[in-house]
Structure 1
């Protein structure tokens, strides 16, 4: 059985300051890395920047998220680009910066995190009128993201927890897309069907037949899900990329289950720890 593709979560956030140029370039330089996963949202001017959290202040594993404060989408671009990430000298990059730094031999999974507001409708399958309204909310930002990505010649995959983002992407461009699942597999599969998505991204405990399915994570309670997302996706011809493996035991369980890709916090979980 083929091993799943390794997708570097925020540029292997377990070993580098997440979503920074330093992280993605180091991750891209490893033979095992098939794809990089990054998060994008707008600066105050609308420029797409690569950062995960809505707020610049806060703590991750005892370190400050950045040395700046405020909401990302209310912060001037110059201030964001000088904000130091997780107590290091690495700073928040623009999406254009990352695209320029990443070799086109490595794929890029661009997660559409937020269009610049907090009412996101995460993980929901929306009604027709709601879909149209949420598509309009996301459209200006998605247009900016796609415009930045046009010069990149490597593989591109766009993902989001928000149906509005997927809908807006389908309005703008013909890139591969994947709904991210949060606590509702049926909603994720419906969104994938609705937009003929190339993949679906469930959490690690949503894969039936693994010990991980008995754990609490990503809005799911302990116990195997009622839906076999791997079987359903395969029947529809979609890839299944699972997030997020934090150790080699989790990686091996997911690989044995037959998933297509695994989003990983650390390099080497696949058993290949070599660099180029």
Structure 2
């Protein structure tokens, strides 16, 4: 059986300052890295920047995420470019700057986090009356993102927890797309069908047949209500799972037959154990 593609979570956030060019450079040096996963939000002027959290003053394992404070969407681009990440010299990059550091042999999974507003509809399918409005709310930011991606010659896969983001992408570009699934697995599959998405991205404890279903993760717990892996594969969609933090999780997901695994560390696919 083929091993799943290894997708470097924020550029292997377990070994490098997440979502930075420094992380990208380290991640692409590993032969097993098939794709990078990055997070996008707009700076105050709308420029797509690579950062996960809504605020700059979050933490990771007790360490400040950056040396700045405030909302990313309210921070001038010039200030973001000088913001240091996790106590290192690495700074918050623009999408264009980060893509310029990625070789075309490595793909990029672009997660659309927010269009620059707080009233997001996360993890739920939109009723018909709301779809046009939410698509238009995302459209200006998605336009900027797609424009910055045009110079990149490698594989691109867009994902989001928000249906409006996927709807906007489908309207402006022909890139592969995947809804990020959370607690409502049926809702994620419904969104994938509505926009004929090439993939779905469920959390690691949503894969039936693994011991991981018995563990709480990302706000969900309990036995999955449906077999999302079987359903997605029956419909011809790839299944990329987030996020493996150790090789035991990676092996369990690989044995279940998933197509890709978002990982915090390199070598989880087997190289570490062969050294």
What interval of TM-score do these two structures reach, taking the shorter chain for normalisation? over 0.9
Q: What residue is the counterpart of 1:169 in the other structure? A: 169
Residue aligned with 1:8, SS: strand
Give the structure 2 partner of residue 45 of structure 1.
Answer: 45
Total equivalences in the alignment: 273
For 2:144 and 2:122, locate their aligned partners in 1 and report how far apart those are by CA, in whole Å. Answer: 21
Aligned-CA RMSD value:
0.9
Distance in 1 (CA, whole Å) between partners of 2:272 and 2:198 is 29
Q: 1:226 Cα shift? A: 1.7
Show the 5 A alignment for 1:118-133: 118-133=118-133
Q: Report the Cα offset of residue 272 of structure 1.
A: 2.0
Corresponding residue for residue 72 of structure 1: 72
- Structure 1: stretches of 5+ with no match in the other structure: none
CA 273–153 in structure 1, closer or farther in 2 if over 3 Å, else same: farther
- Provide the residue aligned with 1:198 in structure 2: 198
Structure 2 contact 205–221 (Cα < 8 Å) conserved: no
Distance 2:242 2:37 in 1: 10
- Does structure 1 residue 254 correspond to structure 2 residue 253? yes
Report deviation, 1:219: 2.6
Q: Secondary structure at the match of 1:216?
A: coil
Aligned structure 1 segments of 4 or more residues deviating by more than 4 angstroms: none
Tell me, what secondary structure is at the counterpart of 2:271? coil
Residue 217 of structure 1: how far off its partner (Å): 1.2
CA contact (8 A) 1:32 1:273 kept: no
1-structure distance, mates of 2:108, 2:229? 22
Aligned partners of 1:14, 1:122: CA distance in 2, in Å? 26
1:233 maps to which residue?
A: 232
Query: Could you tell me how far apart the structure 2 residues matched to 1:271 and 1:62 are?
Result: 30
1:86 aligns with 2:92: no
Structure 1 CA distance, aligned partners of 2:227 and 2:187? 13
Is the Cα–Cα contact under 8 Å of residues 65 and 85 in structure 2 kept in the other structure? yes
> SS of the residue aligned with 1:133?
helix
Give the TM-score, by structure 1 length: 0.98
Q: Distance in 2 between matches of 1:273 and 1:115?
A: 38
TM-score, length-scaled by structure 2? 0.98
Partner SS, residue 24 of structure 2: helix
**Cα offset for 1:107?**
0.3
**Gapped runs of 5+ residues in structure 2?**
none
